[in-house]
Every structure is written in structure tokens, then in C-alpha cells.
């Protein structure tokens, strides 16, 4: 009887939580994004007016005037900055050169009030670590965004069992660095896990014993955990690592995935598009997929998530971030806004136009060029497509986006003759051609694969099509490597595999050295 009573109590609690989620989702969907952006803009400037940055840029003079006038004044005074420029101008302004790039800066009332006590440490493919300030206010805003996202999901799925289960969070490194007393730096996932409310701990897996393992041990541990704990209803991670986890489950369980994981309800994915991996995911589940939800988070801000029943993500301009957008055509060859580039607020964006995203945040980043590009497909609501991160193929002046590259591979997989698990594309500048390395089970029909990739890019990108027809870009060079070949290269040459690290789909190096490293490694391996 006692057990029955506990089950009934749990059912009542879940019912109450679901009811609250429905109400929260209704409030979310009634919000006015343009009004929210104007309010956030004013709050950010008012809050930071007494900081060093606020004083330098005369934020106090922008109070009590219309948004349009205040925004024009803000643009005229505050330049668009990259991380490097913030580092030089503010983050490390009064610290020795030798200390820069090795540890998080000391920020006390510099660009945001008070002392910044958390830094998201990100290691890029071509640069030393970045230390992105992560304020207590931003931590709270991210938590609010996550609650809104899950509330929208629950409101659309009244029979969901998520509230009675757990989430498997495929985090990156869980180790933190103590910068000084009370100040920490580390992977975003490490900060999230370390400082999340205590009452969430029983519902998040894996525990510290598995999370702290090297990647191969962590993958094995998570797979074994997923197979034995039938309360895990959600997996959250980066698409290629989710695929590897599910394949490891099949290797261990030796049965169809739907039999092994009957309670898996939702896969939350981020970091890179699911499109190139979708065919493999469908095959793993024999065509009957769990629910999928895409989101666009970053170390700087929470930017978008997908609502149930919708094909694309919605921009989420409600969580302590003021958005601006620069036309894709106004980026220089490194993907950065050109000196003459103008920026516009959300209310002025156009459907179909590609934009670079500029952020001002409640962590003290101001007109910060994050390096992401998106395209709006609707403005009511603000549906977006993620079209690339940091780099795009333009060494031959073609400006092919990461989204177009990923769509070309997705089209290759949809063809049915290839099953590409992972890939990278770079540029052979002397040969005036793109070089593709495709990791697949079987390297069948290289010429056919090259034709599909080439024709897809021609259909998606007018500049590429024109340059191909004019002979300014030659036919692509395509090479196949074994299914795990790119992962083996990444582990051996970059020391990066799993967690929240990602395989660059476009070689970000100015000299195309990354794709050449992969080709050399693959050739030596053969």
C-alpha cells in the first residue's frame, strides 16, 4: 500500500508540473519579440551605465529617449568587436601580455556590474582558448530558456513521460579551473552541471564517475548506463556523438535500438545540423524515430530552439540578449563584418537574407561578433536556419555557407548509394577546386559522389554555379575514408573527440592546412 501511495503521489506531482508547463508555454507564445528586444536593450544599457564600458560609451546619455534614437546613438558610439578586440580593449586591458590567453581575465565592473565569477572556456580550431564571461544573470536567463523550451515540448505532448524520468547529458569536459577564490572557468557543460540547482541532480546522468572519464571510457559508460536505466527518456548532445552513442548501444545490446531503448522519447541536438546524419539516425531506429528538438545555444547566449511540430528553430530574443544583424554580403573574406558594414535590429530583418549575428548580452559583451550566420525564413514567427559558424568556403570567392555544405552531404545520403557518417571540405587553391573527405562504410563511386555534391551546390549557391560554368572553379576532388577515419584523425592530430567538441565541416584555416592534414593522415593510414 505504501508503494501504491508513493506512485499516486508521484503521478499527482507530475500532473501538477505538466499543468504548470502548459501555462508557461502559453505565456511564452504570447510574447512580442520586438517589444522584448527594445525592453532588453534598455535594461542592458541602464544596468551597465556605471561600468567602465558604460562610462566610456556614455550609456547614461541614452536613457529616457525613444528606442530608435537610442539605438542610433548606440551604433554610432560602440563599434562591432571580435573576441580578440574585446580582449585587447577591455578583458586584459590592465594585465600583463604574458598573462593573456592563458587564463580567464579579472573582470570587476568592467563591462558588466560586479565581479564575473564564471567563464566559459572554449578552445577553437585555429586559436588559443577563449574565456567568455558568464554572469549570474546569464546563468539565470539560460535556465529560464531551458524551462521555456521544455514547457513548450510538454504542452504539445500531453502523454510525455519525461517528467518521470531522466536526461542523459552528453557533456564535454566536466573539469573546472579555479581562477581565483570564487571564480571558475571551464566548459559550458561543466559550469552548468556544477552550479545547477541541487534538486536537479537525481534527474541528470551520467554521474561524476562516468563524466570524468576519457572519451572512449565515457562513451562506453554512457552506453551501458543508457541500456540498464530505463528511466532515461532524453538524450542531449551533438549529432555525431549521439550517433556514436546509439551505435555503441547496439553493439553492446545486439538487438534493434527500439527494443533496447523503448523509453527513449526525445533527442535534443545542437552544435551542428542534424541533416547530414539523419539517414543514419533513421536507419538506427528502423524508421521510427524518437522526437527530435534542435536548439542553438552558445557560450555567449541562448539564441533559438525548435518547438514541437515545427520544422525550423525560432529565434528566442527574450533571454538577456539584444540581437543585431549584418548582411552576409558585408562580411570580409574571414567572415567578419567589413568596416563599412551596417547592422540592423530584429524589426528590420528580411526573409531569405543571410545575416551574421551580433550580440549585446547580460554578461557584458557589447556588439560582439559571435561568428554565426543565420537566415530568416519567416518573421512571424521568427523562424531561422543556421547557415554556418565562423567560416565559409570563399577562398575562390564563392561564399558557400556551412548550411549549403551540409545540405549537399544530406542530399548525398538521401540518394541511397552512400552513407556518409562524417565529412570535411576545404579548398585546393592551386587546383581551384573544393576537396571533400567523406567518412563512410563503403567508398563507392567517387565520381558519382562528386557529381551529386557539385550539382547540389550549384542549385543552392548562384555564385558557385556561375563560377563553375565559367571554369573559375573546377570539379570537386572527393576522397573516401573509413567510417571512423575522421574521428581517428581528430583524436590523433587534434586531441579532440567527443563531448561538445565538433568536427569542423569546413576547414577554418586560411591556408587550408586542416584538410591537408586529414588527407595526409588518411593516406598514411592506407
Q: Which pLDDT does position 309 carry in this prediction?
A: 92
359 within some domain: no
Asked if the model's pLDDT at residue 504 lies above 90, the reply is no
Measure CA of the first residue to CA of the last residue in the chain; give whole Å: 65
Asked whether residue 421 is assigned to any structural domain, the reply reads yes
Q: How far apart (Å, rounded) are the C-alpha atoms in residues 82 and 432?
A: 30
Section 362-374 average pLDDT? 93
Q: What integer pLDDT is reported at residue 27 of this predicted model?
A: 94
**pLDDT exceeds cutoff 80 at 146:** yes
Instruction: Give the number of other CB atoms < 10 A from CB of residue 92.
Output: 20
Residue 338 predicted with pLDDT over 80: no
Residue of 503, 493, 525 whose CA lies nearest to 422: 503
**Residue 389: enclosing H or E segment and its boundaries?**
strand 383-389
Within a domain: 480: yes
State how far the Cα of 42 lies from the Cα of 70, in Å rounded to an integer. Answer: 9
d(CA 463, CA 457): 10
pLDDT at 112: 97
* Cis check: omega of the bond before 410, within 30 degrees of 0: no
Q: E strand or H helix at 6, and its extent?
A: helix 2-29
For residue 479, give the DSSP letter. E
- 515 and 436 Cβ atoms separated by less than 8 Å: no
In this structure, of 113-117, 308-312, 324-328, 466-470, the range with the lowest mean pLDDT score is 466-470
Please report, to the nearest 10 degrees, the dihedral formed by the alpha carbons of residues 106, 108, 111, 112 taken in order: 130
Predicted local distance difference test score (pLDDT) of residue 54: 97
The Cα 307–Cα 184 span in angstroms is 33
pLDDT above 50: residue 102: yes
pLDDT band at 3 (very low <50, low <70, confident <90, very high): very low
Once rounded to an integer, what is the mean pLDDT over residues 475-501? 82
The answer to whether position 195 is within a domain reads no
Output the pLDDT for position 390: 54
pLDDT mean over 10-36: 86
The pLDDT tens digits of the residues spanning 119-135 come to 998 754 334 578 999 99
In a 13 Å sphere around the CA of 292, the CA atoms on its Cβ side amount to 20
Residue 503 lies in a domain: yes
Q: Which of 321, 324, 326 is nearest to 336 (CA)?
A: 326
Pick the more confident residue, 136 or 12.
136
Q: Average pLDDT in the 364-371 region?
A: 94
pLDDT digit string, tens, across residues 221-267? 999 999 999 999 999 998 878 988 999 999 999 999 999 999 999 99
> pLDDT confidence of 4, banded at 50, 70, 90?
very low
CATH of the domain at 489: 3.30.300
Phi-psi region of 401 (alpha: psi -120 to 50; beta: other; left: phi over 0): beta
pLDDT of residue 323: 98
Query: What DSSP character marks residue 79?
Result: P
DSSP summary character for residue 475: P
Confidence bin at 105 (pLDDT 50/70/90): confident
Residue 389: pLDDT above 70? no
The region that residue 50 occupies, defined by phi over 0 for left and psi between -120 and 50 for alpha, beta otherwise, is alpha
Q: Is residue 460 part of a domain?
A: yes
Grid cell, residue 415, equals 540518394
Q: Could you write out the DSSP letters of every residue in 308-355?
A: TT-SSEEE-TTSSEEEEEEEGGGB-TTSSB-TT--EEEGGG--TT-EE
Look at 3-12, 44-53, 291-300, 417-426 and tell me which has the smallest mean pLDDT.
3-12
pTM: 0.80
Averaged over 477-505, what is the pLDDT?
Answer: 81
pLDDT of the residue at 285 = 94
> Can you give the pLDDT at residue 109?
94
Q: What is the pLDDT of residue 7?
A: 41
Q: What are the pLDDT digits (tens) for 420-460?
A: 989 999 988 778 899 999 998 766 789 999 999 999 999 99
Question: What is the rounded distance in angstroms from the CA atom of residue 396 to the CA atom of residue 463?
Answer: 10
**Which of 523, 519, 497 minimizes the C-alpha distance to 507?**
519
**Residue 474 is placed in which grid cell?**
573546377
- Mean pLDDT score, 265-280: 86
Residue 427 lies in a domain: yes
- Segments forming the whole domain that contains residue 518: 402-525
CB–CB of 478/449 below 8 Å?
yes
- The number of distinct structural domains making up the chain is 1
- Domain membership of residue 306 (yes or no) is no
Amino acid at each position: 500500500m505504501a508503494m501504491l501511495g508513493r506512485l499516486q503521489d508521484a503521478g499527482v506531482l507530475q500532473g501538477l508540473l505538466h499543468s504548470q508547463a502548459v501555462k508557461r508555454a502559453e505565456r511564452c507564445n504570447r510574447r512580442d519579440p520586438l517589444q522584448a528586444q527594445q525592453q532588453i536593450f534598455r535594461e542592458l544599457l541602464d544596468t551597465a551605465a556605471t561600468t567602465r564600458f558604460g562610462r566610456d560609451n556614455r550609456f547614461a546619455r541614452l536613457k529616457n529617449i525613444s528606442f530608435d534614437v537610442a539605438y542610433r546613438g548606440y551604433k554610432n558610439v560602440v563599434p562591432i568587436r571580435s573576441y580578440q578586440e574585446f580582449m585587447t580593449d577591455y578583458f586584459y586591458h590592465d594585465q600583463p601580455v604574458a598573462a593573456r590567453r592563458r587564463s580567464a581575465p579579472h573582470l570587476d565592473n568592467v563591462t558588466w556590474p560586479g565581479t564575473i565569477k564564471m567563464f566559459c572556456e572554449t578552445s577553437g580550431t585555429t586559436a588559443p582558448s577563449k574565456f567568455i564571461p558568464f554572469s549570474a544573470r546569464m546563468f539565470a536567463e539560460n535556465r529560464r530558456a531551458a524551462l521555456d523550451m521544455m514547457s513548450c515540448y510538454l504542452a504539445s505532448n500531453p502523454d510525455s513521460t519525461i517528467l518521470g524520468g531522466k536526461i542523459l547529458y552528453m557533456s564535454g569536459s566536466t573539469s573546472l579551473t579555479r581562477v581565483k577564490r570564487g571564480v571558475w572557468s571551464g566548459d559550458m557543460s561543466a559550469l552548468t552541471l556544477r552550479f545547477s540547482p541541487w534538486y536537479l541532480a537525481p534527474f541528470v546522468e551520467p554521474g561524476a564517475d562516468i563524466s570524468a572519464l576519457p572519451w572512449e571510457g565515457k562513451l562506453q559508460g554512457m552506453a551501458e548506463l543508457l541500456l540498464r536505466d530505463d528511466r532515461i527518456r532524453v538524450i542531449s548532445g551533438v549529432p555525431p556523438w549521439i550517433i556514436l552513442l546509439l551505435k555503441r548501444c547496439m553493439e553492446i545490446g545486439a538487438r534493434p535500438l527500439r527494443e533496447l531503448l523503448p523509453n527513449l522519447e526525445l533527442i535534443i541536438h545542437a552544435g551542428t545540423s542534424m541533416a547530414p546524419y539523419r539517414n543514419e539516425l533513421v536507419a538506427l531506429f528502423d524508421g521510427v524515430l524518437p522526437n527530435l528538438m534542435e536548439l542553438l545555444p552558445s557560450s555567449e547566449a541562448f539564441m533559438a530552439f525548435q518547438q514541437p511540430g515545427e520544422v525550423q528553430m525560432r529565434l528566442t530574443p527574450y533571454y538577456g540578449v539584444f540581437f543585431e544583424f549584418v548582411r552576409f554580403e558585408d562580411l570580409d573574406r574571414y567572415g567578419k563584418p567589413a568596416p563599412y558594414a551596417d547592422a540592423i535590429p530584429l524589426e528590420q530583418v528580411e526573409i531569405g537574407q543571410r545575416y551574421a549575428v551580433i550580440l549585446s548580452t547580460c554578461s557584458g559583451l557589447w556588439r560582439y561578433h559571435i561568428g554565426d550566420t543565420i537566415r530568416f525564413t519567416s518573421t512571424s514567427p521568427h523562424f531561422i536556419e543556421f547557415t554556418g559558424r565562423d567560416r565559409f568556403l570563399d577562398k575562390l570567392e564563392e561564399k558557400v555557407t556551412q548550411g549549403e555544405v551540409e545540405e549537399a552531404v544530406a542530399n548525398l545520403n538521401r540518394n541511397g548509394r552512400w552513407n556518409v557518417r562524417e565529412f570535411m571540405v576545404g579548398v585546393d587553391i592551386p587546383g581551384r577546386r573544393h576537396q571533400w573527405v567523406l567518412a563512410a562504410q563503403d567508398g563507392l563511386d567517387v565520381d558519382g559522389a562528386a557529381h551529386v555534391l557539385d550539382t547540389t551546390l550549384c542549385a543552392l549557391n548562384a555564385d558557385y554555379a556561375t563560377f563553375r560554368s565559367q571554369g573559375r572553379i573546377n570539379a570537386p576532388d572527393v576522397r573516401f575514408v573509413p567510417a571512423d577515419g575522421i574521428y581517428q584523425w581528430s583524436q590523433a592530430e587534434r586531441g579532440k573527440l567527443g563531448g561538445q567538441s565538433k568536427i569542423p565541416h569546413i576547414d577554418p584555416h586560411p591556408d587550408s592546412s586542416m584538410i591537408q592534414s586529414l588527407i595526409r593522415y588518411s593516406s598514411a593510414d592506407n
